Amino acid sequence: MSATNPYAPNPSDFISNVPRFEVIDSTLREGEQFANAFFTLENKIKIAKALDDFGVDYIELTSPVASDQAREEVEAICKLGLKSKILTHIRCHMHDARVAVETGVDGVNVFIGTSNFLRQHSHGKDMSYITKAAIEVIEFVKSKGLEVRFSTEDSFRSDIVDLLNIYTTVDKIGVNRIGIADTVGGANPRQVYELIRTIKSSVSCEIETHFHNDTGCAIANAYTALEAGAKYIDTCVLGIGERNGIVPIGGFMARMVVSAPEYVKSKYKLNKIRDLENLVAEIVQVNIPFNNPITGFCAFTHKAGIHAKAILANPSTYEILNPTDFGLTRYIHFANRLTGWNAIKARVEQLNLNLTDDQIKVVTNQIKQMGDVRPLGIEDVDSIIKAFHAKEKDNTSNANENENEQPGAKRQRVD
């Protein structure tokens, strides 16, 4: 937002929704399709409350038609009185719609496949059937006073003419949102930008997007979709979903807080991301990935000497995210052979010892030599520093006794 933030929205994008996006979290729908997910009602309620507390705008739930229990769960979550609006995700069938509108949801997310692949191998319907079914279902849901979204599955492998036809049709009858889905996770950012911008220029309703992560582009595609005028992003906690999942809410927040810091920090409780991820990770029995944005164990760990030096002078040099925004702290990894004397100096100060810069350079060299031989723990480094400090103190006393001796002469390995 500020003129000095090179990662702020591109000023030439007048259609950009980067600083006013909304989140539709689908942990309780897409996430339920994750291989390891089995959510009891109790756990679904825990997750829904945590999402609501974090501040997601919408919570999407598994279709009430999926099973008897699924229906009871939708009804139970609607009765919690959360601030987040509740949606359920149904096939484009009147039967599903009739069940959905009776559950107490705020809105219904309708989907159908429009790619040749899905038309041939999934439902076997043609575009005129799809259009007719869409109109019937949308008008029915609207007649009940609920929000309705109409989404195509596998949009990026669908014919652009088919897409524009169906989206402009449902737009005219007053759909609230249309959904564009990269169901197989193959889209790339500029392709996303072009498709969304084209569709945006043809409809007046809002655009929701759903990006799978098979090729590692889900977060970037979501960001680029906002630049092109989409407003709603589907996320899951840790990205859990079919195959390797969709846009993870934590990584997405990392992306957005860099580009629209005021908006994101005022709207979402970023310091709850860690708890939210831990809750879901425990329920679906996975570990937080070591390289997870924000909460990966080393996301704020700096190791190389040149990095540590600059971070100690000003954290922004090597940090685009501020760990305190997420209730976390940074860590300077000084116990290794890539360490530098600035990192060791910081450690010496933490240990409340007095050494000159020259002395610190000598002890840093000793630490690096030891680090060449084996992995170092913090206690190893502390021992080396303390031993060096004790010896230097002795040397200084001896030197004071014999003023002709120059202690500095022993320190030639400084680099």
Binders of its own copies among residues 7 to 66 (CB under 8 A) are 7, 10, 32-36, 38, 62, 65-66
Task: Give the integer Cα–Cα distance in Å for 250 and 238.
Answer: 7
- Residue 403 in tokens: 């003023």
Burial-class residue 272 by CB neighbours within 10 Å (0-12, 13-18, 19+). middle
Q: Tell me if 82 contacts its own copies by CB under 8 A.
A: no
**Beta bridge partners of residue 90, listed in sequence order:** 110
Residue number, 55 or 296, with CB nearest to its own copies: 296
Task: Give the integer Cα–Cα distance in Å for 309 and 376.
Answer: 19
Instruction: Please pick, from the candidates 88, 109, 114, 221, the single residue that binds its own copies as defined by CB under 8 A.
Output: 221
Q: Is 156:191 a contact under the CB 8 Å cutoff?
A: yes
Quick one: which of 47, 52, 83 has its CA closest to 62? 47
Q: Tell me if 193 contacts its own copies by CB under 8 A.
A: yes
Residue number, 69 or 271, with CB nearest to its own copies: 69
Residue number, 52 or 154, with CB nearest to its own copies: 154
Q: Tell me if 350 contacts its own copies by CB under 8 A.
A: no
Q: Say how many CA atoms lie within 13 Å of 109 toward its Cβ.
A: 28
Q: Tell me if 198 contacts its own copies by CB under 8 A.
A: no
In whole angstroms, how close is the CB of 10 to its own copies at the nearest point?
A: 7
Q: Tell me if 266 contacts its own copies by CB under 8 A.
A: no
Q: Tell me if 83 contacts its own copies by CB under 8 A.
A: no
Residue 93 annotated as catalytic: no
Q: Is 226:264 a contact under the CB 8 Å cutoff?
A: no
Instruction: Please pick, from the candidates 131, 165, 168, 191, the single residue that binds its own copies as defined by CB under 8 A.
Output: 191
In whole angstroms, how close is the CB of 396 to its own copies at the nearest point?
A: 28
List 210, 212, 302, 307, catalytic entry: 307
Q: Tell me if 129 contacts its own copies by CB under 8 A.
A: no
Instruction: Please pick, from the candidates 1, 15, 20, 121, the single residue that binds its own copies as defined by CB under 8 A.
Output: 121
Instruction: Please pick, from the candidates 28, 56, 61, 217, the single residue that binds its own copies as defined by CB under 8 A.
Output: 217
Instruction: Please pick, from the candidates 310, 343, 363, 384, the single residue that binds its own copies as defined by CB under 8 A.
Output: 310
Task: Give the integer Cα–Cα distance in Å for 239 and 403.
Answer: 68
Residues in the chain: 415
**Per-residue CA distances from 199 to 28, 161, 207, 260, 359 (Å):** 28, 10, 9, 24, 65
In whole angstroms, how close is the CB of 239 to its own copies at the nearest point?
A: 6
Residue number, 306 or 399, with CB nearest to its own copies: 306
**Per-residue CA distances from 137 to 29, 73, 133, 255, 278 (Å):** 20, 23, 6, 36, 38
Per CB under 8 A, contacts with its own copies among 355-384 are 368-369, 371-375
Cβ neighbours for 382, distance < 8 A, ≥ 6 positions apart:
347, 351
In whole angstroms, how close is the CB of 355 to its own copies at the nearest point?
A: 21
> Total binding residues for its own copies by CB under 8 A?
103
Instruction: Please pick, from the candidates 74, 105, 187, 343, the single residue that binds its own copies as defined by CB under 8 A.
Output: 187
**Beta bridge partners of residue 210, listed in sequence order:** 181
Task: Give the integer Cα–Cα distance in Å for 134 and 141.
Answer: 11
Q: Tell me if 186 contacts its own copies by CB under 8 A.
A: yes
Instruction: Please pick, from the candidates 244, 322, 366, 395, the single residue that binds its own copies as defined by CB under 8 A.
Output: 244
SS3 167: helix
Other C-beta atoms lying within 10 Å of the C-beta of residue 168: 15
Residue number, 179 or 293, with CB nearest to its own copies: 293
Q: Tell me if 299 contacts its own copies by CB under 8 A.
A: yes
Q: Tell me if 287 contacts its own copies by CB under 8 A.
A: yes
Q: Tell me if 289 contacts its own copies by CB under 8 A.
A: yes
Task: Give the integer Cα–Cα distance in Å for 60 and 90.
Answer: 10
Task: Give the torsion sign (CA, 81, 138, 64, 242).
Answer: negative
Instruction: Please pick, from the candidates 200, 210, 309, 345, the single residue that binds its own copies as defined by CB under 8 A.
Output: 309
Catalytic residue numbers read 307
